[in-house]
Amino acid sequence: MNEQLLTGTLKINENNHLEIGGMDTAALAAKYGTPLYVYDVAQIRSKCRQFKAAFEKNDFSYQVAYASKAFSVLAIYQLIQEEGCSVDVVSGGELYTALKAGFPAEKIHFHGNNKTVAELTLALENKVGCIIVDNFYEIDLLNALTKERNQRVAVQLRTAPGINAHTHEYITTGQRDSKFGFDLENGQIDQAIQKVLENPLFDLIGVHCHIGSQIFETEAFTHTVDKMIGLLASWRDKYGYTAKVLNLGGGFGIRYTEADEPKEISDIIDAVCQEVVQKTGEYDYPVPEIWIEPGRSIVGDAGITLYETGSEKDIPGIRNYLAVDGGMSDNIRPALYDAAYTAVIANRATEPAEETYSIAGKCCESGDMLIWDIPLPKVNQKDILAVFSTGAYGYSMANNYNRIPRPAVVFVEDGEDALVVKRETYEDLIHLDQLI
């Protein structure tokens, strides 16, 4: 096993078991059952602190807003609050969860490309810190709602900056052909700012962009900085408007497998800050606060999923399928994006690889595969398979296909474990159903 995958508190203990947060994964599987999501709390804290420290080292005003779509449950909002970060939410449901967790409303940023009146009203009623306005329809809705309520609201305008970051085409959101934000090239962003400046109840604090997800190229971020500061300088010239905030979104890549080489958080933030200083200097523009919205890079490699191994189908000369007790119902990313993961037999972690397996889920779908062709020791039934880096967009995209209950989620830290989401029961599955 590649040692690089042992991030955070992951290690192999004296029993040759994978350990996380000081807890033996085989013991966790026995205690809570499988599939089980396990999060290394220290690693989440460390990521938040790395982002913050990088901005502080550069003497920047900033907000690190955890993009909670990556993993949105009560306990994560509590943890993010403890670490002094803000959050970004993209729906009434995420907003509700954050508020229920006691997250301070003024540190919640509300996103979405089709926010409903009910969602905007919930955001206004609770006085969220900022609404990131995505489109003309939303400007009109928010215009009407702020006037009706005579309520001032801080807004940012979301732009599609036309940066084509090198990533999977389905998760690239910053390019021009995108459903998100106002186009930068065709004048729509200028129409948008003019409309926003007309309403005295809008406090336009700045501009937002997000160029995609799982990005490794620092240049994609610095290039975005150039474009955005150019936009802000043009707005100062045309409208006499000076922004307080430049929000660069999220997208910082993590290691899923040995093939991934993510940059250090501090190196990316250093480069971004230097570029901001350089470009604002060129335009003689006041250095804005920089806000970012990391999701994956905060929780992604802090999470692992534990499965129990079950049936095996060996087709000699073709492939050896090894099925686990979960699959696309708890991690849809391989099926959706061809996302690659790697894994280890958690209860025999240092045994040498002897066979090649393809890890299948238990859903009634041929595409329900978690990992193709992974070398592992000879697997027994009821071994524990630990899949690495499942903390982002795993549980949050889990579903009940085939009426498979969603897994439990456990937080571990300093040798203590805490159940933060119960395993769904069959009773939960029919909870909303009604007989005719």
Ligand X SMILES: N[C@@H](CCCC[NH3+])C(=O)O
Interaction site with ligand PLP (CB under 6 A): 67, 70, 88, 111, 173, 210, 213, 249-252, 293-297, 392
Binding mask 331-370 for ligand X (x = CB under 6 A): --x-------------------------------------
Catalytic status, residue 85:
no
Burial category of 268 from C-beta neighbours within 10 Å (exposed 0-12, middle 13-18, buried 19 and up) = buried
Which position among 28, 139, 171, 184 is part of the footprint of ligand X (CB under 6 A)? 171
Residue 249 binds: one of ligand X, ligand PLP, none (C-beta under 5 to 8 A by kind): ligand PLP
Q: Which residues between 189 and 218 bind ligand X (CB under 6 A)?
A: 213
Which of 370, 351, 388, 350 has its CA nearest to residue 310?
Answer: 370
Q: Which does 333 bind (CB under 5 to 8 A by kind): ligand X, ligand PLP, none?
A: ligand X
Among 32, 77, 103, 393, binds ligand X (CB under 6 A): 393
49 is in an annotated binding site: no
φ, ψ of residue 63 in degrees (nearest 5): -135, 130
Dist CA 241 CA 295 (whole Å) = 30
Q: Has 319 been labeled as part of a binding site?
A: no
Q: Which does 66 bind (CB under 5 to 8 A by kind): ligand PLP, ligand X, none?
A: none
Compare residues 14 and 169 and give the one whose CB is closer to ligand X.
Answer: 169
* Angstrom distance (rounded) from CA 342 to CA 169: 22
CA angle 319, 321, 326 (to 5 degrees): 155
Phi-psi region of 102 (alpha: psi -120 to 50; beta: other; left: phi over 0): left
Q: 290: closest CA among 193, 93, 424, 156?
A: 156
Query: Does the annotation list 333 as a binding residue?
Result: yes
| CB neighbour list of residue 124: distance below 8 Å, 6 or more residues apart | 145, 146, 149, 151, 153
Which residue's CB is nearer to ligand X, number 69 or number 208?
Answer: 69
Strands 86-89 and 108-110, how do they pair? parallel
Query: 110: which residues sit within 8 A by CB, 6+ positions away?
Result: 88, 89, 90, 95, 119, 123, 128, 130, 131, 132
Number of residues that bind ligand X (CB under 6 A): 6
Q: Does 43 bind ligand X (CB under 6 A)?
A: no
Q: 347 is in the binding site of which of ligand PLP, ligand X, none (Cβ under 5 to 8 A by kind)?
A: none
- Report the binding-site residues for pyridoxal 5'-phosphate: 251, 293-296, 393
Q: Which residues are designated catalytic?
A: 364
Residues of the shown chain interacting with ligand X in the complex, contacts defined by CB under 6 A: 69, 171, 173, 213, 333, 393
- Report the binding-site residues: 251, 293-296, 333, 337, 365, 393
